[in-house]
């Protein structure tokens, strides 16, 4: 995909996101939305997922729940009114979806001290009241300084994760107690390995795994399995910042590689959490992203 096509995709998607931020329910008319941004339905969905890491319907559903969360905190609308405006035909259906996203019922969310009205996302696009000026920021191509490294095969003890890549943190949390039987080493690295292409694989069927590095003579603790990350040449990028925007960073890395002369290998991508066993002392966590190349 050449630079001009990628830029057109980003600009068309930015326009569509602006429409959805104004009225998230419009994603249900995908063909109309595609027409508004000047693409065919097929190319619109392809462009949207390429840029955002999720389709327009998935983004819309999340924005509607985030708007509902904002309304619960900042308006006097009843839960039933909010559910109807979010596109739900029943209060029970809205409550189930809301609880799945935020972990509590709408009524408890309204009276409680929930830290955020945003849900996890692969792109850091969220519902905000009176959003202005976001499109130019979204379209602007961020420069990434990619470094090429040769890595040796890496043995890890891991547990499997099935579903959205941006929820891999939940699996990482489960890994800690299982790996506690390994000897403590300050240089033991933690990995997330991504085995499927999110542009061609349904989000519910994405396979990944979270694992800790195994050193010579060590075996995988009970409840984990030993796997090996293939060695070879990789394009790498060091991200210093919160984990919840890693999906966006991976997407930007993909776009940089697509516009470069580097050819990717058909091997799993992976990231390394450099500060998972140390103290941050007020600094942002560091994550190193690895993309195998020829």
Q: Examine the domain organization and report whether 250 and 209 are in the same domain.
A: yes
Residue 2 pLDDT = 54
Looking at the structure, tell me whether residues 17 and 118 fall in a common domain: yes
Q: Are residues 166 and 286 in the same domain?
A: yes
Task: Please indicate, yes or no, whether residues 191 and 174 belong to a single structural domain of this protein.
Answer: yes
Count structural domains, the chain: 2
Mean pLDDT, the chain cut into blocks of 10 residues (294 residues total): 62 80 68 84 86 85 91 92 92 94 92 80 73 41 76 94 87 84 85 86 88 91 91 91 78 76 87 72 82 92
CATH for 62: 1.10.10.60
Evaluate if pTM is beyond 0.75.
no
pLDDT attached to residue 108: 93
Give me the torsion for CA of 215, 162, 291, 226, rounded to 10°.
20
| C-beta of residue 209 within 8 angstroms of C-beta of residue 160 | yes
Q: Are 152 and 120 contained in the same domain?
A: no
- What CATH number is attached to the domain comprising 194? 3.20.80.10
Strand partners, 292: 234
Which positions ≥6 away from 146 have C-beta within 8 Å?
A: 235, 236, 237, 253, 256, 257, 260, 262
Query: Do residues 288 and 237 lie in contact, with contact meaning Cβ atoms separated by under 8 Å?
Result: yes
Both 197 and 224 in one domain: the answer is yes
Name the domain boundary from 95, 114, 139. Answer: 139
Domain boundary, last residue among 112, 139, 166: 139
Q: Considering 139, 165, 180, which residue would you say is the last residue of a domain?
A: 139
Whether 68 and 163 map to the same domain: the answer is: no
- How many whole angstroms separate alpha carbon 107 and alpha carbon 128? 21
Residue recorded with tokens 């945003």: 118
Same domain for 102 and 55, yes or no, is: yes
Residues 122 and 237 in one domain: no
Q: Which domain holds residue 236?
A: 147-292
Other C-beta atoms within 10 Å of 77: how many?
14
pLDDT attached to residue 278 = 52
Distance CA 58, CA 4 (A): 26
Domain identity same for 113 and 167: no
Cβ–Cβ < 8 Å for 121, 54 = yes
- CA 188 from chain centre, in angstroms, equals 25
Judge residue 115's burial from the number of C-beta atoms within 10 Å of its C-beta, 0-12 exposed, 13-18 middle, 19 or more buried: exposed
């Amino acid at each position: 995909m050449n630079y001009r096509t990628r830029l057109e995709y980003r600009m068309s998607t930015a326009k569509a996101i602006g429409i959805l931020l104004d009225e998230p329910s419009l994603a249900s008319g995908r063909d109309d939305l595609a027409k508004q941004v000047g693409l065919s339905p097929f190319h619109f969905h392809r462009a949207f997922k390429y840029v955002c890491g999720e389709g327009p319907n998935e983004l819309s559903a999340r924005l509607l729940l985030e708007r509902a969360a904002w309304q619960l905190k900042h308006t006097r609308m009843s839960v039933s009114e909010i559910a109807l405006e979010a596109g739900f035909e029943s209060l029970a259906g809205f409550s189930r979806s809301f609880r799945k996203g935020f972990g509590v019922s709408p009524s408890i969310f309204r009276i409680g001290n929930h830290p955020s009205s945003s849900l996890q996302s692969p792109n850091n696009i969220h519902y905000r009241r009176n959003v202005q000026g976001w499109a130019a920021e979204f379209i602007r191509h961020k420069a990434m300084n990619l470094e090429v490294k040769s890595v040796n095969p890496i043995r890890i003890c891991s547990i499997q994760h099935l579903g959205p890549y941006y929820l891999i943190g939940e699996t990482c949390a489960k890994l800690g107690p299982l790996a506690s039987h390994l000897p403590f080493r300050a240089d033991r690295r933690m990995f997330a390995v991504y085995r499927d292409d999110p542009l061609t694989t349904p989000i519910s069927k994405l396979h990944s795994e979270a694992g800790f590095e195994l050193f010579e003579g060590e075996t995988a603790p009970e409840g984990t399995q030993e796997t090996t990350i293939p060695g070879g040449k990789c394009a790498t990028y060091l991200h210093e910042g919160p984990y919840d925007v890693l999906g966006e960073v991976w997407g930007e890395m993909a776009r940089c590689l697509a516009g470069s002369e580097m050819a990717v290998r058909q091997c799993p991508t992976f990231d390394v959490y450099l500060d998972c066993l140390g103290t941050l002392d007020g600094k942002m966590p560091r994550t190193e992203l690895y993309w195998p190349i020829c």
